[in-house]
Amino acid sequence: MARHELSKSTFIRGIKCHKALYLNKHRKDLRDEISAQQQAIFTQGTNVGELACNLFPGGVDCTPDSFYDFEAAVEKTSQEIKKGTKIIYEAAFQFNGVLAALDILVKHDDGWRAYEVKSSTGVSETYELDATIQYYAITNSGIDLKDISIVHIDNTYVLDGELDVHQFFATVSVKERVLELLPGIPNQVAALKKVLKQDEVPEVEIGPHCNYPYGCDFTGHCWKHVPEYSVFDIKYARGLDWELYKQGILKTTDIPDDYELNERHAIQINGDKNGTSIINKKAINSFLSRIKYPIAHIDFETYMTAVPEYQGNRPYQFMCFQWSAHIQKSKNGEIVHKEYLAKEGTEPQEQFLITLIEACKDAKTILVYNKGFEGGRLNSLAEQFPKYASDIASVLSKFVDLMEPFQQKDYYLSSMRGSYSIKNVLPALVPSLSYKTLNIQEGGTASATFAALKHEKDADVVSQTRKDLLAYCEMDTWAMVKLLEELHI
């Protein structure tokens, strides 16, 4: 059997971008490094796929021994079908140089049905195209498919007792849409094969397709001509970035002075050009008048898993596992730090709540940075743990959002670059403080790190990782302390 030219994944990649398809074949060395968060997503997808096999237990796995030995998987699949095997995992088919591996192939009473498993909570256009190329390879290999479906996670499922995979997963037939897309597949396959045989890298300009409907792992290469800070850093650009790029404008400082901008964009761009600042003392003082001592600066960290780990939890539910609080009784008084970090592998949320409520009980003001997030988490916890609802309501009633004066542009420095994220505001106002000194420097890494910690066997690694998590969360609330000090100046 000749080696395949396209796989299901490279077909999807090529439909999105010919350049990405070519580079993936001929210049894999140019790929971006996989982040810890992205690797966690890949691992989660694999785990969900394995779990879905329990929908149809007792099947034969045709996964190849080597990742690159799919020809053997195609042959094994063919043999199992001839033997009368009715349930096949990772069934592989090849037609016209196109390889398609299917998560689950099942022979029901009325014939063969195909199931592709996704760790998402719905069906996307990409998944429909994915299913179409599978249908193309499978049916042209002699299998009469009665149906093809996407199996995805039902995010309304609540874990109650043992995990019920039949309730956890939702199965949606996409055959109707597949049959609509199918006539275009042969020409698309032929076009992509030609791309792979070119002598030169296809000329494809960067565009919204680089990040939609999902990101590309050649962005670092294709975007290397874009400055570190560019028009693509304009906040809430709503197409302005691409409009400027098409005119050859990459830097915000090169935007003509008479270019029509809305007020928010003008503040950022004028700041970039002229270093102008906004300090609205009246608005800032009005904000500060709402803060009553004692105050508690608090910050939460959360993680999510596709498969709920604890009773009463849903798929992809935010799980609060850590908080930090800097507590100050008076404006110039002593600052006391308190913190909580759940034990890895244990239900974190109830103890999170108990300790947080206790830490905040004497505060008259509870400062957060982005109360929509912290408030949302506490409201969810009140639903899950109703016995703490009144205490949670008390905490919420004291919330003041420290992000507000920066979000409203009442305090704006050009070095914030249009952002009111604490990661941009802190170095602008307090350059002596930096997350770059920490081993964990942002929330996504903190989430992925804690979620993976329960699998770590090395006690020294666990100990150091917990120290890193605590240091990161503490920096968030210490940053709030210092930002409040700056607002008082």
pLDDT digits (tens, 9 = 90+) for 149-178: 999 999 999 999 999 999 999 999 999 999
Per-residue model confidence as pLDDT tens digits over 205-218: 999 999 999 999 99
What span, in angstroms and rounded, lies between the C-alpha atoms of 157 and 243?
43
Per-residue model confidence as pLDDT tens digits over 22-37: 999 999 999 999 887 8
What span, in angstroms and rounded, lies between the C-alpha atoms of 98 and 133?
8
Per-residue model confidence as pLDDT tens digits over 114-143: 999 999 999 999 999 999 999 999 999 999
Specify the pLDDT at position 35.
83
Q: Answer for the pair 329, 364: CB distance below 8 angstroms, yes or no.
A: no
Per-residue model confidence as pLDDT tens digits over 267-316: 999 999 999 899 999 999 999 999 999 999 999 999 999 999 999 999 99
Separation in Å, CA 265 to CA 25, 96, 409: 40, 51, 11
In this prediction, residue 1 has a pLDDT band, given cuts at 50, 70 and 90, of low
Amino acid type, 143: I
- C-alpha closest to that of 320 among 351, 297, 298, 345: 351
Give the mean pLDDT of 460-477.
Answer: 97
Per-residue model confidence as pLDDT tens digits over 170-192: 999 999 999 999 999 999 999 99
- C-alpha closest to that of 473 among 335, 358, 305, 341: 341
Reading phi first (left if > 0) and then psi (alpha if -120 to 50, else beta), residue 248 is in left
Query: What value does the mean pLDDT of the chain take?
Result: 95
Per-residue model confidence as pLDDT tens digits over 411-451: 999 999 999 999 999 999 999 999 999 999 999 999 999 99
Per-residue model confidence as pLDDT tens digits over 234-280: 999 999 999 999 999 999 999 999 999 999 999 999 999 999 899 99
Q: Answer for the pair 30, 221: CB distance below 8 angstroms, yes or no.
A: yes
Per-residue model confidence as pLDDT tens digits over 384-415: 999 999 999 999 999 999 999 999 999 999 99
